[in-house]
Amino acid sequence: MPSFTLQQVAQHKSQNSCWVIIKNKVYDVTEFLPEHPGGAAIILKYGGRDATSAYEPIHPPDALDKNLPASKHLGYLNGESINILQQEKLKAKKTKDERRVELARQRMPPLSRILSLMDMENVARQVLSHKALAYYSSASDDEITNSENARAFTRFFFRARVMRAVAHCDPSTTILGFRSSIPVFVSGAALAKLGHPDGELNITRAACKEGIIQMISSNSSFSAADIMASADQSQTLFFQLYKHRDDDIAERRVREMENLGYKAIFLTVDAIVAGNRERDIRSPWILEEQESGPVYFASGTSDEPKDGVNVFGTAGALVANDDRDMTWEKTIPWLRSITKLPIVIKGIQCVEDAILAAEAKVDGILLSNHGARCSSLPPLEVLYSIRQQHPEIFDKLEDSLFSDPLAGGIRRGTDIIKAVCLGAKAVGLGRPFLYAQSAYGQSGVSKIIEILRREVVTAMRLVGASTIRDLRPEMVQRVDWHPHVHVKL
């Protein structure tokens, strides 16, 4: 393949001819500009120059091979240009945010002093870049659903039983027939490399070590093949499918996952469009003003950017090509026709859809409002409503009903046990694993699994359950606290 100088690449930075450099390779992305889900402006910003630092945390390594024809892989930078780029990176002045992160990492507490998931999150919030934290922590609109997902657990209390033999306590269970050491799995969450260079691989290796199951997002920052290659041969991995609007493309994706060895398909139905995550959208402006100072309205002129505001945020564009016309009547039979893997519907947010899922004879449902990406009921409240109104659904779905309070809802092992008492087979966590691997890598992920295991076993013993099968709905009571108001007549 031919080689290029930096000067040659720099000549191609317009909509008519746009080249970018990624890991010292040169690509012609001109024809891809109108197809890019996030819009052409994001790519043109790096037209004619090195885009590696912006590209790598967001895209799997094989993304260019899959999305650009071989003819657009133009060649490599020549040796002199590679040296120049390396020298520029060494001499580049660190941003204020980079210096903040560097200092925060020098002041991290020993991992042994992390006692809870909130301890881990507090450390992660200090050491994550502003961009990564804004993406991981943001929720939709005023983020009310985000706080309510967690508050929901405070409305449920145990009706603990005593005088039960709990010296031997086994917290293990099965999820879709696959063993898990505790009733917890890793929910699919995108872009783990924003927080750590090894990203999802940290979670995969720790999940194997600790004996829990990981669900891989369609939008992982490592490819599904890379993640599977890093997994142990005995390890169980599920795949979270964002269905492409083109059935042929979606079918190829499903068959690829089946061939790679993924054990179930979790069809995502709660994120057909990106949520309105304003904290994530504002992130570039905050970083810009940290470096250059405040930006003010210029009277008498239009301050509207030529290309408008990027309302997609860090990764909202990743769902731009998803199928927005999925239906129970069409999509489930289609998916059944192309795979023999178990099918779980991820994103049930009301009792009525839980009924439809059972009637569609899917293998399981995952209660989720996609990390508070829209203003829906907390998953725990939906789980409680199913238990109260249609408990037969638990029988129709056998042992495959899951609860997914992804948006910071799970704080403790007691939260997990509350969900299991109400009928959840297991509980998925997303953000806690992102925070843990961002702060301490693989060891951080192992640490929070160990914390959850200890808290789960403690909670089981205190409510009088020696196995997961002993956890019953009558062990939990929902209580709304209303202050007593003295009325003066």
Q: What are phi and psi of 262, to 5 degrees?
A: -70, 145
**Nearest to residue 314, comparing CAs of 280, 338, 344?**
280
Q: Which residues of 80-94 are buried (b: 16+ CB within 10 A; e: fewer)?
A: ebeeebeeeeeeeee
CA atoms of 174 and 168, how far apart (whole Å): 19
Give the Å distances, CA to CA, from 326 to 166, 187, 272, 330, 332. Answer: 47, 22, 9, 7, 9
Say whether 270 is catalytic: yes
Contact 211, 181 (CB under 8 A): yes
- Is residue 242 flagged as an active site residue? yes
* Closest residue by Cα to residue 217 from 235, 238, 195, 233: 238
**Options 27, 55, 242, 435, the catalytic residue:** 242
- Tokens in use for 134? 């804004």
Buried b (16+ CB within 10 A) or exposed e, 445-460: bbbbbebbbebbbebb
Q: Which of 270, 280, 322, 404 is catalytic?
A: 270
Q: Identify any residues that bridge with 322 across adjacent strands, giving them in sequence order.
A: 244
Separation between Cα atoms, residue 350 and residue 191, nearest integer Å: 28
Bridge partners for 22 per DSSP = 25
Longest dimension (CA), the chain: 90
Measured over the CA atoms of residue 373, residue 378, residue 379 and residue 385, the dihedral's sign is negative
The yes-or-no answer on residue 486 being catalytic is no
Give per-residue burial for 207-216: e unless 16+ CB within 10 Å, then b: bbebebbbbb
Q: Looking at 370, 384, 415, 435, which residue is catalytic?
A: 370
Comparing C-alpha atoms, which of 219, 148, 65 is closest to residue 372?
148
What positions carry a catalytic annotation?
A: 242, 270, 370
